Amino acid sequence: MSCNSGKAVDLPEGGSARFKAEDLLDAIGFLKSLGVPREIASVVERVYRKEAGAKLDSRQYRVSGSPGMVAQAAEYPWGWHGLARGLWKDFPGYRPILRATFNTREGCLSYLGFKSVRHAVAAFVARMFGYPVPRVEGDVFYQAAGWFRATGPGREEYANSLRRLTNPYTARVYGGSDKEVYDG
């Protein structure tokens, strides 16, 4: 696959979007309206800020609306079979609408893009915390770090890096400090 950095390819449901940082604020409000616990919303925001930059200004985020959901296969469900059997089956409108390729440190990667950041956040929460009812099992940071690596020391390092980030949108929506730490 050639890497046309930032170019949308494969538009199975059409469309392309340009997302702003404030779209994550809206998605955090959406999580609260669904009754998702603050600790999950907080770690969602931290993963987004880690993957898309503190100001949520990476090209990958602006195009995809996700915190870096890499396509693992060439066609639907692009390697995300658990989401296809759960969230995307129940809510087909939440499925990714595009793939966009980018040159990264890891080489050319194809990211799934969504109609809205709400849809991308819903996919992240379903994948990392369960569907249809998200649950924290132990250390919320370690659980979320599975986004980066399933096991091993890299996962613990990623979890620790999340602990050091702030979550101003979660603090604005849920109240409290933007530096609150959950020890799981």
The answer on pLDDT for 49 being more than 90 is yes
pLDDT at 74: 86
pLDDT at 150: 75
% of the chain residues with pLDDT over 70:
88
Q: Where are the domains of the chain?
A: 7-171
3-state secondary structure the chain: CCCCCCEEECCCCCCCCCCCCHHHHHHHHHHHHCCCCHHHHHHHHHHHHHHHCCCCCCHHHHHHCCCCCECCCCCCCCCCHHHHHCHHHHCHHHCCCEEEEEEECCEEEEEEECCCHHHHHHHHHHHHHCCCCCCCCCCHHHHHHHHCCCCCHHHHHHHHHHHCCCCHHHHHHHCCCCCCCCCC
For residue range 70-121, what is the model confidence (pLDDT) as tens digits? 999 988 899 999 999 999 999 999 999 988 888 888 888 899 999 999 999 9
Confidence of residue 136 (pLDDT cuts 50, 70, 90): very high
> Mean pLDDT in the chain?
88
pLDDT at 2: 54
Average pLDDT over residues 52-70: 93
Task: Assign a CATH topology to domain 7-171.
Answer: Lysozyme (1.10.530)
Confidence of residue 163 (pLDDT cuts 50, 70, 90): very high
Lowest-confidence range among 13-22, 105-114, 134-143?
A: 13-22
Average pLDDT over residues 15-24: 81
Lowest-confidence range among 11-25, 38-52, 118-132?
A: 11-25
The answer on pLDDT for 13 being more than 80 is no
pTM of the predicted structure, to 2 decimals: 0.88
